[in-house]
A and B are shown apart, each in its own frame.
Chain A
Amino acid sequence: AQKVTQAQTEISVVEKEDVTLDCVYETRDTTYYLFWYKQPPSGELVFLIRRNSFDEQNEISGRYSWNFQKSTSSFNFTITASQVVDSAVYFCALSEAANNNDMRFGAGTRLTVKP
């Protein structure tokens, strides 16, 4: 069965620092999809990115970037020049094509950005 590990429970940084959130996954499927979601203090989960197993290109969106490496089964998320508004819990998730709609979430990493 698929599994997602986010080993960092909590991270605290000072504004403008760069921070990387780690995500390691396990799957036996060759076709799978990786996601990152953000859960701000308001509680609602916000979709950030989706990546499929055949596309290892890194992605950059503003201050956010994602590094997908199949060799290490990792899909890490970096925030550059962090801001207080980035404070949230971030979840990495995995969905296998064979298990269709069973999206497995990691335990989440709570990021606190201090001014």
Chain B
Amino acid sequence: DSGVTQTPKHLITATGQRVTLRCSPRSGDLSVYWYQQSLDQGLQFLIQYYNGEERAKGNILERFSAQQFPDLHSELNLSSLELGDSALYFCASSSRTGASTEQFFGPGTRLTVL
């Protein structure tokens, strides 16, 4: 158990809908990262927050947004969902930021868009 929690574990929704995925980092970690894992794209970095501020952006679609709250938990919002958004979404956390930082991953949220 990495200490990173994600809810919900599974989410099934329809195209065009909007969902929110939630992540609580390990105690004391200031950085939160979001990743998408799909069969065709593999594991892709989406976005990172550090102590409430956006720090880095990867291959995140404009329909997706995220934020980190004062208590350091983070939410990933996915809107106008498409079939191709079906994937496993991981949150990771780390105590600091930077390229050398190892990240600790949560169990993931499996999103199915029908």
Residues of A whose CB lies within 8 Å of any CB of B are 31-33, 35, 37, 42-47, 50, 52, 91, 95-97, 99-108
Contacts and interface: CB of A to CB of B under 8 A. Distances in A.
Interface of B: 2, 31, 33, 42-45, 48, 55-56, 58, 88, 90, 92, 97-108
B97 A101 contact: yes
A9 B85 CA distance: 23
A44 B102 contact: no
Given A45-B90, A105-B42, A108-B42, A100 B99 contact: yes
Contact of B43 (A47, A52, A97, A105): A105
B100 A101 contact: no
A96 B58 CA distance: 13
Contact of A102 (B56, B102, B106): B56
Contact of B106 (A44, A95, A106): A44
Contacts of B88: 43
Contacts of A52: 100
A66 to B, nearest CB: 14
A4 to B, nearest CB: 10
A100 B107 contact: no
B90 A100 contact: no
Contacts of B103: 47, 103
Nearest to A35: B102
Pairs A-B, 9 closest by C-beta atoms: A101-B56, A45-B105, A95-B99, A105-B43, A101-B48, A97-B99, A44-B107, A47-B102, A33-B100
Contacts of A35: 102
B99 A32 contact: yes
Contacts of B55: 100-101
Contact of B107 (A42, A50, A105): A42
B108 A44 contact: yes
30 contacts: A32-B99, A35-B102, A43-B88, A43-B107, A44-B2, A44-B105, A44-B106, A44-B108, A45-B90, A45-B92, A46-B2, A46-B105, A47-B103, A47-B104, A50-B102, A91-B43, A95-B99, A97-B98, A97-B99, A100-B99, A101-B55, A101-B56, A101-B101, A102-B45, A102-B56, A102-B58, A103-B45, A103-B99, A105-B42, A108-B43
